[in-house]
Structure 1
């Protein structure tokens, strides 16, 4: 109603304004225009009401449809909540069943992981891993795995354990890269003895776990052990002795830190060199004199078998040649003969006892020189303690090594020289005794012959 009233007022105002402006004879036209406008407005209003009613019905239908969709959505939500609750309940029940069923399997997983960790430490140092390096990846994966291992992993782990057991008691040959003493890696034929030792071209090898490669020991064991490795490599079958390291290379690595004989002599310093030079002179003199006494002994024994023909190539022959007396001459000739024989024996004694005073001097000087080295080494040790302290024993090793090595060298020179000097003295006394016996016998025979001539 308000809208119609407003339109009527507007039409009146328009008619009044038109009447005021228009002449009197146009009133009918104006009326018709007003009536037409009023009809049009009524028609417009009717159309608007119809559209409004249509929109209202449409909105009601939309509202009804929205309410229906809301009800359906609520129904679906309730059904989803019910299914979610049911699923949560089912999941909880399944988890309970899983925990109940996985209790033993969790213990198996823990045992397998612990076993794999312990076996990894063993396999990383085993020489078998040098031949089969790919097995370390499977062991590391099983030892570091946080979840449950699968059946395939457990089976592969069992195969690795069986492989270690079988290969630990077998001797194998295989090709593998070997790091030489110069740091260069080159393929070589490797001979493996169980999981304890490996050799290549008669050289002992160690296994380096970080690089998973075989390395030549920096300092090989003694010649005897290297010859065993070479003989073992060419042994066709059967039992053969060989040096093995049950610590998988630790003992061989420690062997590389031990100095050899030349290095130990260098540790002895100047005193060690002096002792060695003195010992060398003593050995040369002893060997020279021993060879001389052996040669003289053979010549004297040959002369004993033929005393009637004295020779000048041996002491006994020269002593017998000194006999120039005549049995027909008097007692004075016998006295002269005795003096000649004594002179000849005294002339031979210096050559038979040669170098013995020098050897006795070396026997006495060896321990004294060793004592000098001992004192010098202890002085060096105390000086190191004063400068560096006694916290690290390796700092004192140099002085102690010098002290001990010089002592050993001094005794090592003196003791053999003592026995050698005793041997030379004994052999020279035997030869001198032979000369004394033969000269006394020669003199006795001469006196007997002289007495027979006098009595005749």
Structure 2
């Protein structure tokens, strides 16, 4: 019973997980009768009491630490709430001061409006005039020489402050400056972008607000970037005129190309394609048309020169029919019967016809090929037109028809191919007709002379027979 009472007292102070172990140890101790077991049991009880005391002490420390932390958290919460309340109070005060300030500002604006009266409309008109003048001179060549005036006009056009007398005088000066500089020829240093994109400081000559150029040619002014750049494509003889302008200071007048649109025409001209650009727009079909046209032109030129030379020699031979030469078709036809002693008229006629037919192919050379080229030119142009329209419809399918420039490539190919086909067909048609007429004329001469020679031989033969 003592063991069970001891176990009950220890059970109150030990954790539940040690109850079963302790219960077993106590039962084992009381069930063992030897004396040395009693001593071990005392020691065990002593250790258990010490452990229980240590655990109680640890739990007490934990409770004290928890209570201390709880108090600290409560103090911090109270402090945060106090700070929050103070911040709300300060915010309310700031809002009150802001409302008072807004009221004062509104009152001051009302008083200013009453005092200004019609003067406010005048200031608005000044700001509007400055904005309109700024948009007018933004792309002016005079601005390239005086770029600082743009910043002044921007400030005045914003209307953020009332302009003073100095501002009004400066605005009037800019109006007068633009009018005066539009009629002057001036030279100044400026940054210019050349054809390869490099920027360098050069001397620029400005002819009013209509033209500006340097030693490389005419310049264009970009209002957005405020930069001068050399035109990628110069007008005809523009560089020569620009370099000669003002070379001799003693001359009262000098010739110069001016753009009355203040650079717009020059920019449009720079975008206009050259003849070589147009040829490239024709694409592969255009190159084929040009190649065929070149071949036809070479053949036609060669045959024209040949027929011209043959015509000269034939006319010379007509004056010396009795002395045939072999350097011309007529001489060779006449010489074909010079050593022939045949008396049969049919044989003579056949031999003369053979001689004429032998000369005819060289006189009619390349004519069939030229006729084929004349017929193929428009057909190839039609092919290029169809290809260009296919490209155009493909672009419309991909990106839509909102931007006409995107469709310009296909339309240009279609039109250029048609033009190239007509360009090679029309001249070659006339040339081939001329060659045919010349060859027929020479062939007719050969037939006439051959018939005359045959008649002469027959007359001579009839005389001998008589």
Residues 1:139 and 2:153 aligned together: yes
Matched, 1:231 2:241: yes
- How far off its partner does 1:353 sit? 1.2
Match of 2:233, SS state, is coil
Is the Cα contact below 8 Å between 2:187 and 2:204 reproduced in 1? yes
Q: Superposition pairs for residues 42-53 of structure 1, below 5 Å?
A: none
Task: Tell me, yes or no, if structure 1 residue 378 matches structure 2 residue 393.
Answer: no
CA contact (8 A) 2:213 2:242 kept: no
Query: Aligned pairs, how many?
Result: 351
Query: Equivalences for 1:105-124 in 2 at 5 Å?
Result: 109-124=123-138
Counterpart for residue 415 of structure 1:
426
Partner deviation per Cα, 1:363-419 (whole Å, 9 max, x = no partner): 111222222333333344444445555555555444444433333322232222212
SS in structure 1 at match of 2:380: helix
Residue 270 of structure 1 corresponds to 284
Spell out the pairing of 1:269-418 with structure 2 (5 A cutoff): 269-324=283-338, 332=344, 335-418=346-429
Match of 1:126 in 2: 140
Distance in structure 2 (CA, Å) of the matches to 1:202 and 1:445: 78
Question: Which residue of 1 is the match for residue 99 of structure 2?
Answer: none
The answer to whether structure 1 residue 220 and structure 2 residue 204 are counterparts is no
- Match 2:173 to one of 159, 164, 167: 159
Give the alignment's Cα RMSD to 1 decimal.
Answer: 3.5
Q: Please list every run of 5 or more consecutive structure 2 residues that lacks an aligned counterpart in the other structure.
A: 1-110
Task: Give the drift of 1:267.
Answer: 4.1
Larger radius of gyration: 1
What is residue 257 of structure 2 aligned with on the other side? 242
* Structure 1 match to 2:84: none
Distance 1:167 1:289 in 2: 64
Matches of 2:355 and 2:244 in 1, distance apart? Answer: 65
Rounded Cα–Cα distance in structure 2 between residues aligned with 1:228 and 1:261: 19
Between 354-363 and 158-167, the greater mean CA deviation after superposition? 158-167
TM-fit CA distance, 1:357: 0.5
CA distance in 2, matches of 1:193, 1:303: 69
Distance in structure 2 (CA, Å) of the matches to 1:196 and 1:124: 14
Task: Specify whether residues 337 and 325 from structure 1 end up closer, same or farther in structure 2 by C-alpha distance, changes over 3 A only.
Answer: farther
Superposition TM-score, scaled by structure 1 size:
0.65
The 1:116/1:347 distance shift into structure 2, 3 A limit, reads same
Counterpart CA distance in 2 for 1:413 and 1:229 is 34
**1:161 & 1:202 partners in 2: Cα distance?**
31
Which whole-Å CA distance do the structure 2 matches of 1:241 and 1:353 have between them?
A: 55
Between the aligned partners of 2:321 and 2:174, the Cα distance in structure 1 is 87
**Pair 193,434 (structure 1): closer, same or farther in 2 beyond 3 Å:** farther
Match of 1:425 in 2: 436
Shift of 1:358: 0.6
Query: More displaced, 289-298 or 147-156?
Result: 147-156
Go from structure 1 to structure 2 and tell me whether the alpha carbon gap of 1:112 and 1:353 turns closer, same or farther (over 3 Å shift).
same
Query: Can you give the 5+ residue segments of structure 1 that lack an aligned partner in the other structure?
Result: 1-93
